[in-house]
C-alpha cells in the first residue's frame, strides 16, 4: 500500500475514534446535550462511519435502554428474540465486535467456577469502574473504590510504571438470597 493511502486510512480510523468519543459524550456523559431517554439515531452510527442498519440500531437501542448492565452475545440474542426481533446470533456477534471497535461498547472476559469464560459487553459510559463477579450465577456488580485506585497507582509507581489503564475483576460467591445458582 502506498504511504499516502496508508496515511489516509489511518486518518479515517482516527477520525472514527474521535467521532465515537463525541457520540459517547453526547449519548451518555452530557445529559443536557441530548435527552438520555431518547433512542440513538441512525445519524449517531453514521457519524462514526457505520451504516445504520436495522440490527445495529436495535442492538444499540438495547444497550442504551439497559445501561449499566452486562450482557453476553447470547443474552442480547435471547432478549431480542423474546421481543420478536429477528436478528441472527452471528449478526449479534458481528455488531458487538463493530461497536467495541468503534468504542461504543466495552468487552470483558469473566470466568465462572464451572471453568467457562465468556465475553461480556457493556455500554461505554466513559467512567472507569471495576467488577465483582459471582462464580455461581455469573452476575456482575460494578464498583468504584478510590482507595483501591490509589493503591494500584502507588504500586505501579513503586515498580517504575506510569499507569495508563487497568482492569480489576474480583470473584466470589453471592451471599444474596436471590442468586440464581446459590450453593445450598
Q: pLDDT by residue (tens digit) across 91-106? A: 999 999 999 998 889 9
pLDDT for the residue numbered 145: 93
Condensed to tens digits (0 to 9), the pLDDT of residues 154-178 reads 999 999 998 888 889 898 888 877 7
pLDDT for the residue numbered 38: 53
pLDDT for the residue numbered 23: 45
pLDDT mean over 3-20: 41
* DSSP reduced 3-state for 50: coil
Condensed to tens digits (0 to 9), the pLDDT of residues 132-159 reads 988 887 788 889 999 999 999 999 999 9
Residue among 142, 56, 46, 140 at smallest CA distance from 96: 56
Confidence (pTM): 0.68
Compute CA distances 180 → 65, 111, 132, whole Å.
23, 16, 16
pLDDT for the residue numbered 35: 31
Q: What is the spatial distance between Cα 62 and Cα 152, in angstroms, rounded to a whole number?
A: 34
pLDDT for the residue numbered 183: 56
Domains contained in the chain, CATH given = 3-125 (1.10.10.10), 128-184 (3.30.1490.190)
Amino acid at each position: 500500500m502506498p504511504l499516502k493511502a496508508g496515511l489516509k486510512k489511518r486518518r479515517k480510523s482516527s477520525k472514527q475514534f474521535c467521532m465515537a468519543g463525541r457520540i459517547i459524550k453526547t449519548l451518555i456523559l452530557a445529559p443536557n446535550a441530548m435527552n438520555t431517554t431518547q433512542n440513538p439515531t441512525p445519524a449517531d452510527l453514521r457519524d462514526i462511519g457505520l451504516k445504520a442498519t436495522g440490527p445495529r440500531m436495535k442492538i444499540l437501542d438495547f444497550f442504551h435502554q439497559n445501561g449499566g448492565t452486562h450482557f453476553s452475545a447470547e443474552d442480547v440474542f435471547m432478549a431480542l428474540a423474546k421481543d420478536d426481533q429477528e436478528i441472527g446470533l452471528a449478526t449479534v456477534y458481528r455488531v458487538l465486535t463493530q461497536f467495541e471497535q468503534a468504542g461504543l461498547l466495552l468487552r470483558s472476559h469473566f470466568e465462572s467456577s464451572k471453568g467457562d469464560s465468556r465475553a461480556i459487553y457493556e455500554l461505554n459510559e466513559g467512567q472507569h469502574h471495576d467488577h465483582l463477579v459471582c462464580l455461581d450465577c455469573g452476575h456482575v456488580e460494578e464498583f468504584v473504590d478510590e482507595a483501591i485506585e490509589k493503591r494500584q497507582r502507588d504500586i505501579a509507581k513503586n515498580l517504575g510504571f506510569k499507569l495508563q489503564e487497568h482492569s480489576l475483576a474480583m470473584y466470589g460467591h453471592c451471599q444474596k438470597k436471590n442468586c440464581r445458582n446459590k450453593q445450598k
